[in-house]
Amino acid sequence: MRRLNRKKTLNLMKELDAFPKVPESYVETSASGGTVSLIAFTTIAFLTIMEFMVYRDTWMKYEYEVDKDFTSKLRINIDITVAMRCQYVGADVLDLAETMVASADGLIYEPVPFELTPQQKELQRMLQLIQSRLQEEHSLQDVIFKSAFKSATTALPPREDDSLQSPDACRIHGHLYVNKVAGNFHITVGKAIPHPRGHAHLAALVSHESYNFSHRIDHLSFGELIPGIINPLDGTEKIASDHNQMFQYFITVVPTKLHTYKISAETHQFSVTERERVINHAAGSHGVSGIFMKYDISSLMVTVTEEHMPFWQFLVRLCGIIGGIFSTTGILHGFGRFVAEIIFCRFRLGSYRSTSVPLPDGHTNNHLPLITDNSTH
């Protein structure tokens, strides 16, 4: 009884077989079929390798939402070198709430030579090259995000000791915490002092001939400091053509949450436009000589997430490649054989075309000759 049930089950499974087997005696092979099969297998192998490379790769997904965090502080990371002595310049931040952030809270004034060493010049040249490529190919930003904490640091290497070169510039570096509102970070002549209506700089004791706001921005970023991330102003160098010159940077800061397989951090991206002009009150160009970075905080927040293709999606795409190529090549091969048979069939019929045979009475016989038993011998 058990054997009978097993036999019925086996017969039922045979009836459900969607892949019936054809006896080898019924299978006909051809050279054209072998050629098409070779092409199909080669194409499948190539596309499978390409699909596996796509499966291994990742991409960045961007999502946008309103930034509801307005109570936290914004960190500004600064590393700027100005071609003036440290006792002549002062740096501070003044926001729209008329809140002044003193530079002594987090900035360090370090006397250094303005001229870079050969090793530092090489890194600056590399940063400027990357910045020019980023302006042309925005997709490179995804590569920078994915390589954060993995690539080499963007900070300048330490200066080699050179006792013959005296410090003629001031390196202002460190970080500040400001309110998340629009503000103005500036470096100008004289140290900043608080004032009931804002603040002022002690610039009266510095002669105009000492003004030189040629500067180099080695690093400027907002938010958490992430090694390997290149910001728009990193590597920027400006040379002043006049003593009374103003350099302005208008910055729009966008809060950014970065989630990759390497890191998870909250930072800020920013875009910048630049302007520079010579201060000449007689010609109507008013203002204060110095370096001014006016920043504004965007109300939108960007979430950047690194994503990977799921394994099941890779299998579906792989099955589609294999099945699609087999079906397509089978159809093309069948259509090619059909066309070839039509052409050869017409060629064969042409060899049996009727011929004109002259008769004794002057008529012609256009009929095909009859095939008799005697003609076959």
Mean pLDDT of the chain: 77
What are phi and psi for residue 356, nearest 5 degrees?
A: -80, 125
Distance (Å, whole) CA 48 – CA 45:
5
Tokens standing for residue 55: 């499966």
Q: What three-state secondary structure class fits 285?
A: strand
Q: How confident is the model at residue 375 (pLDDT cuts 50, 70, 90)?
A: very low
Task: Please give the pLDDT value at position 150.
Answer: 52
Q: HSE-up of 148 (CA within 13 Å, CB side)?
A: 23
Q: How confident is the model at residue 361 (pLDDT cuts 50, 70, 90)?
A: low
Task: Please give the pLDDT value at position 292.
Answer: 92
Residue (of 246, 342, 223, 347) closest to 293 by Cα position = 246
Distance (Å, whole) CA 295 – CA 301:
16
Tell me which of 105-109, 283-287, 293-297, 348-352 is least confident: 348-352
Res. 353: pLDDT tops 70: no
Contact 143, 61 (CB under 8 A): no
Residues in Cβ contact with 337 at an 8 Å cutoff, skipping those fewer than 6 apart:
32
Residue 112 burial (CB < 10 Å; 0-12/13-18/19+)?
Answer: middle
Q: Which long-range contacts (CB under 8 A, 24 or more apart) does 160-163 make?
A: 160/117, 160/119, 162/113, 162/117
Contact 199, 311 (CB under 8 A): no
- Percent of the chain residues topping a pLDDT of 70: 72
Residue 232: its H or E element: none
Q: How confident is the model at residue 39 (pLDDT cuts 50, 70, 90)?
A: confident
Instruction: Convert the pLDDT of each residue in 298-323 to its tens digit.
Output: 888 888 888 888 889 889 999 998 88
Instruction: Convert the pLDDT of each residue in 45-94 to its tens digit.
Output: 999 899 888 888 887 888 888 888 877 888 899 999 999 888 888 888 88
Q: Where are the beta strands (DSSP E) in 202-325?
A: 215-223, 236-238, 245-259, 264-278, 290-297, 300-308
> What single letter denotes the amino acid at residue 197?
R
Contact 36, 329 (CB under 8 A): yes
Residues in Cβ contact with 209 at an 8 Å cutoff, skipping those fewer than 6 apart:
243
Most confidently predicted of 274-288, 310-324, 331-345, 351-365: 310-324
Q: Which residue has the higher pLDDT, 55 or 281?
A: 55
Distance (Å, whole) CA 1 – CA 12:
17
Distance (Å, whole) CA 91 – CA 188:
7
Beta bridge partners of 61: 305
Q: What is the pTM of this model?
A: 0.67
Q: What three-state secondary structure class fits 369?
A: coil
Contact 171, 274 (CB under 8 A): no
The whole-number average pLDDT for the span 331-335 is 81
Residues in Cβ contact with 263 at an 8 Å cutoff, skipping those fewer than 6 apart:
148, 149, 226
Q: What three-state secondary structure class fits 362?
A: coil
Most confidently predicted of 111-120, 141-150, 240-249, 330-339: 240-249
